[in-house]
Structure 1
Amino acid sequence: MKKIRFIAVLSGFFLIFLSACNAAETTKISLAEVTRSLFYAPQYVALEKGFFEEEGLDVELQTTWGGDTTMTALLSGGADIALVGSETSIYVYAQDSRDYAINFAQLTQTDGTFLVAKEPKPDFTWEDLEGSNFLGQRVGGMPQMVGEYVLKQHGIDPHADLDLVQNIDFANIAGAFASGDYDYVQLFEPTASVFEKEGQGHIVASFGEESGKVPYTVFMTKQSYMEENDKAVEAFTRAIYKAQQWVQESSAEEIAEVIEPYFEDTDLEMLASSIDRYKSQGSFATDPILDEEEWDNLKAIMKEAGELPVDAPYGDLVDTDYAERVMTD
């Protein structure tokens, strides 16, 4: 009887030892996303399908609501990796930071906003915007810069031809449009479709279709973190690539079912239609590589908006090594 107890005790210690080893092999990563959006569907797929766990990562997601707060979290150590517009890395670089943010995996490759009108516009043309009361986005942020770029392509000066309002926080823009006296606004999904369903707005154009490919939302981390956690960054990139492939091969309905826990206030049918809208215009990057042509397009958009502080070199702020490694595994 004592022998049996002794063996049981040994077995218990062995299980505890194995658990401790497994815990030791798991790397915790704090991930900050700039907002909660269907635009980031592959990220939520990576979380829900267990792709991060397969790579030995314990990823904790936080929504930091806005480019400034997201970069503050990253640079201060409040987050290890940030999902945010790649323009923010250029702003940090321009401040002569010694430990600037490096873009290592692209998630979205078009603008993710849609032009929403307060009233139905069955025969909409861009000229309809002239003289309108337009609720804009944050100065220097990607939605606003891409919006201005597209408007200028259609011969509209956003600061001269519109009554442009830009004093509303990002998180409150949708509510301000619904309750305020505005004619147009840029909205992400699923908010744009929800507004349309509820009769609070009408989608009349896609900024993503109009602006072409751009590194709109990218995973980035500090140089120091990358140097000290090379394997973790590679594992993170591999999990994202798995998710990108899964999203590419799956239907909008399948994707919606997987990521539904992140959008509890939106019904499944609405999620699926919004995801389909993004898929059909090629918004989700199919691999993590941010190429130089996209980077140059980003800088052209920033320059057109008067927001490019320095001519940030692609080789300084973009690292495609991780993406290339995981794509050749």
Structure 2
Amino acid sequence: MTTTTRPRRGRAAAAAGVLSALVFATSACAGGASDTPEGVLNVGQISDSVAFFPLYVAEERGYFEDEGVELGERPRLGTGAKLAAALQSGSIDLGAGVLTDALNLYGRDDSTELTASLVDKYYVDIIVGEDFEGPGQDAPLEERIDALKGKNIGITGPGSGTEALVAYLFQKNGMEAATDAKLVNLGADPPAALGALESGQVDALSFFQPVAQQADATGVGSAYISPSRGDIPGFEHTAHGVVFTTADVREQKSEEVAGFQRAIERANKDIREDPEVEKLLAEYMEGIDADARAELLPIMQEEVPDGIGFPKESVEAALEFHESTGLVEDPPGYTDIVPKDLRTE
């Protein structure tokens, strides 16, 4: 049974409230403190993707309430830029996004720090159609990358993690994604992406989970190169889905943030160990095929960390990826963005 501490506001209303506050925010300001009521945490996130399933589990199982946390607004802000702006304006206290978002905010506000790890693997896959001409999934990685040369590859958009994965792979083989392939911007809608693959508009996709699982379940295609599957040496564990904030907010709302962290740690453990969590995943991703969900769950159980801390190796792999692909020009070091209590060196 779902336990709540207060009526939930509609997502659209919550997002509108947050975005109206951003009109008065200066996006370049640093060290923004919380503007939310005492004892309340406003937690924004980009979307309802697989990375943020731990928040859903914690909400639905009443873990936030158990840990003394009253959740306020829960906007889905759509992009990392809006998430960062909301944090800087003080209209949200914590942001759930990908590491790229935290690193970009750090570039403007060096008090930015990570709060909890949600996914410790890069959850974007290269997906090919059933008629793709190239070596099989068991072929050496270099051969599979070469097979993508000259192909039309669907991505969500420029500057995204989906584009970055293609760039990273092509770099490994001495190629440039911008010239050795045609990147097709498809937006972030999974059905549209799968439709483009099935119709032949693109030869491959670089897309976030569960698109690969949905492609497999519906016979459209399958994961050809999967970082989370361990296909890329040295990239097996990579900090990706994260919650982040600023030092000012953590100091101002230390008890609430600590309670939030305990709740997420409990949710992470449930995802890894409790088979009953499959029911929550079915609710969270009700729009995807049941077979795809069944395939996705064991993958997520491997991707979600057993705690909320950040191993040095995982973060440094992610920092190198961001710098080499140009996602972030000058990323911080491990100790710059990971607080002492979350370092697991």
The normalised TM-score by structure 1 is: 0.79
Structure 1 residue 111 displacement after superposition: 0.5
Deviation at 1:73, TM superposition (A): 2.5
CA–CA separation in structure 1 for the residues paired with 2:59 and 2:105: 28
Confirm or deny that 1:89 pairs with 2:102.
yes
Distance in 2 separating the partners of 1:237 and 1:172: 31
Matches within 5 A, 1:203-282: 203-208=223-228, 209=230, 210=232, 211-251=235-275, 254-279=276-301, 282=302
Aligned residues: 293
Give 1:69's match in structure 2, choosing from 76, 82, 101. 82
Query: What is the deviation of 1:189?
Result: 2.6
Q: TM-score, normalised by structure 2?
A: 0.75
* Moved >6 Å (runs of 4+): none
In the other structure, the counterpart of 1:303 is 323
Counterpart Cα distance in 2 of 1:34 and 1:85: 9
How is 1:1-329 mapped onto 2 (pairs within 5 angstroms)?
27-59=39-71, 60-95=73-108, 97=109, 100-121=111-132, 123-124=136-137, 125-165=144-184, 167-169=185-187, 171-172=188-189, 174-176=191-193, 178-179=195-196, 181-208=201-228, 209=230, 210=232, 211-251=235-275, 254-279=276-301, 282-321=302-341, 323=342
Checking the alignment, whether the CA contact within 8 Å between 2:44 and 2:95 is kept in structure 1 is yes
SS state at 1:196 partner: helix
1:226 is paired with a residue of what secondary structure?
helix
Secondary structure at the aligned position of 1:187 is classed as: strand
CA deviation after TM superposition for structure 1 residue 62, in Å = 2.8
Identity %: 22
Structure 1 residue 151, shift from structure 2 partner: 3.6
- Whether contact under 8 Å (2:165, 2:206) holds in the other structure is no
| Counterpart amino acid of residue 75 in structure 2 | Q
Question: What is the root-mean-square deviation of aligned Cα atoms in Å?
Answer: 2.8
Aligned-partner Cα distance in 2 for 1:235–1:141: 32
Q: Distance in 2 between matches of 1:27 and 1:109?
A: 30
The residue that corresponds to 1:16 in the other structure is none
Name the SS for the 2:306 alignment partner.
Answer: coil
* 1:120 and 1:202 in contact (8 A); partners too: no
Against the structure 1 CA distance between its residues 320 and 150, is the aligned structure 2 distance closer, same or farther, given a 3 Å change threshold? farther
CA contact 2:193–2:205 (8 Å) conserved in 1: no
CA distance in 2, matches of 1:110, 1:318: 17
* SS at structure 2 position matched to 1:32: strand
2:47 partner letter: T
Amino acid aligned to 1:215: A
The answer to whether the 8 Å contact 2:216/2:292 transfers is: no
Determine the structure 2 residue equivalent to 1:23.
none
Q: 1:177 to 1:78 in 2, by over 3 A?
A: farther
Deviations 1:69-100 (A, max 9, x none): 222222223322111112222222223x37x4
1:105–1:320 contact (8 Å) kept in structure 2 = no
Aligned to 1:146, the other structure's residue is in SS state helix
Give ranges in structure 1 of 5+ residues lacking alignment.
1-18, 20-25
Distance apart, 1:177 and its partner CA:
5.0
- Give a deviation string over 1:245-290, Cα, whole Å, max 9, x none: 2222223xx22202332222235443232112333xx311111111
Q: Is the 8 A contact 1:113 1:188 kept in 2?
A: yes
Give the unaligned 5+ runs of structure 2.
6-37, 138-143
Flag the structure with larger Rg.
1
1:106-131 CA-partner distances (Å, limit 9, x unpaired): 11111112221134448253322111
